[in-house]
Amino acid sequence: MTNPTEAEAGLARRNESIASFEQQITLLSRLQHALHSNPALVPLIVLVLSIVVFGALLGGKFFSSFALTLILQQVAIVGIVGAAQSLVILTAGIDLSVGAIMVLSSVVMGQFTFRLGMPPAVAIACGLVLGTFIGFVNGWLIARVKLPPFIVTLGVWQIALASNFLYSGNETIRAQEIETQAPLLQFFGQSFSVAGAVFTYGVIAFIAIVLVLAYVLRHTAWGRHVYAVGDDAEAAKLAGVNTRAVLISVYMLSGLICAFAGWVLIGRIGSVSPTSGQTANIESITAVVIGGISLFGGRGSIMGMLFGALIVGVFSLGLRLLGADAQWTYLLIGVLIIAAVAVDQWIRKVSA
């Protein structure tokens, strides 16, 4: 029997660490981890920085509650469509038809009221149903027929856009007519102001949609399933998720939100114009990507999209106020998109 004190001394000398890989916990890798667990952090930082920079350059002209809420008004439409786009992209899909669904629904709301003489509320309901139905077609083709989302929505985009022009006969319904005969169509154009800050109902709707979706995605089974399907559809299926139903419901909800955006659009531009929203699909994808939602699906948060849309809005208004050529806005947004995807790739490399 050895001397217990000697044994204790031996114990004290032993190397307690277990076999491990050499790993340096640097500041950088901590940041990487933080960003991995909070995907909306990068766009939030960029947003705050860009507001600070433009605020410093432009002073009160930009850094006023008026100008900042103006940005909200300007991004509301793209933001609502972006919410729909986020849902789809979270399932590792893409929806190119969002803008076309929006404008077709708004045309249906307008023309059903003015051409068919329906009460505006019924016409709006028809528009919403139509949007949901187009979303269902998208979802059904993708989930049941197994066609790639890019191809399906590319086709539906063209079909919806052509139907829009054919049905509307390229006719604009003027704001003045809507105002006197069907003001309900312009509901989301109304606004109220709080200490210089102007909020349209459209802006409120935009923020409400994002908040509700953020909650649903995080705290409901359906929301978790959306992430699961996007992350690994096969694994989700094995875990008992009805992936088809989830996919179809995502595209239907996306269609519904786009149709709703069509209603908000009438409020914003006053009139029903079949030429609106032609670039909404690209703009919504831009907001989603800058917002840090991964195009590979399953990762990102809808709050990120909100920040992404606002970043684009801050840059376009800020640069215009600085008197820069509008072309610079596109150039910088291009840089932001690539930077966002590069950061996304880097975060993906995080060691779990």
Partner 1 sequence: MKKLLMGTALSLAVMSSAAMAQDAVSACLITKTDTNPFFVKMKEGAEAKAQELGVTLKSFAGKIDGDHETQVAAIETCIADGAKGILIAASDTSAIVQSVQKARDAGLLVIALDTPLNPVDAADATFATDNFIAGELIGKWAAGKLGAEAANAKIAMLDLAVSQPSVDVLRDQGFLSGFGIELGDSNKWGDESDPRIVGHDVTAGNEEGGRKAMENLLAKDPMINVVYTINEPSAAGAYEALKSFGRENDVTIVSVDGGCPGVANVKDGVIGATSQQYPLQMAALGVEAIKAWADSGTKPTPTEGKDFFDTGVKLVTDQPVDGVDSVDTTEGANLCWG
Please give the residue ranges that form the binding site for partner 1 (CB under 8 A). Answer: 61, 66-67, 70, 73-74, 77, 165, 170-172, 174-176, 189, 191, 198, 200, 265, 268-271, 273-278, 316-317, 320-321, 323, 325-327, 330
Q: Which is closer to partner 1, CB of 40 or CB of 317?
A: 317
Comparing C-alpha atoms, which of 178, 149, 146, 164 is closest to residue 99?
164
C-beta atoms surrounding 254 within 10 Å: 31
Partners of 199 in the beta sheet? 192
Q: 330-349 in b/e burial notation, b at 16+ Cβ within 10 A?
A: eebbeebbeebeebbeebee
Q: Shortest distance, CB of residue 177 to partner 1, whole angstroms?
A: 9
Q: Which is closer to partner 1, CB of 88 or CB of 317?
A: 317
Quick one: tokens of 12?
A: 């004290």
Cα(294)–Cα(36) distance, integer angstroms:
11
Task: State the number of CA atoms in the 13 A half-sphere of 77 facing the CB.
Answer: 26
Q: Which is closer to partner 1, CB of 278 or CB of 345?
A: 278
Q: 54-89 in b/e burial notation, b at 16+ Cβ within 10 A?
A: bbeebeeebeeeebbbbbbbbbbbbbbbbbbbbbbb
DSSP assignment of 106-139 = HHHHHHHHHTS---HHHHHHHHHHHHHHHHHHHH
Q: Which is closer to partner 1, CB of 32 or CB of 172?
A: 172
Enclosing H/E stretch for 280: helix 280-290
Contact call for residues 340 and 290 (beta carbons, < 8 A): yes
Q: Shortest distance, CB of residue 170 to partner 1, whole angstroms?
A: 5
Comparing C-alpha atoms, which of 127, 121, 306, 123 is closest to residue 212?
306
Q: Which is closer to partner 1, CB of 74 or CB of 294?
A: 74
Q: Which is closer to partner 1, CB of 170 or CB of 220?
A: 170
Residue type for position 103? V
DSSP reduced 3-state for 172: coil
Q: Shortest distance, CB of residue 77 to partner 1, whole angstroms?
A: 8
Q: Shortest distance, CB of residue 273 to partner 1, whole angstroms?
A: 5
Q: Which is closer to partner 1, CB of 49 or CB of 162?
A: 162
Q: Shortest distance, CB of residue 74 to partner 1, whole angstroms?
A: 6
Q: Shortest distance, CB of residue 328 to partner 1, whole angstroms?
A: 9
Contact call for residues 229 and 103 (beta carbons, < 8 A): no
Q: Which is closer to partner 1, CB of 25 or CB of 326?
A: 326
Q: Shortest distance, CB of residue 61 to partner 1, whole angstroms?
A: 7
Q: Shortest distance, CB of residue 232 to partner 1, whole angstroms?
A: 37
Cα(294)–Cα(298) distance, integer angstroms:
7
Q: Which is closer to partner 1, CB of 91 or CB of 186?
A: 186
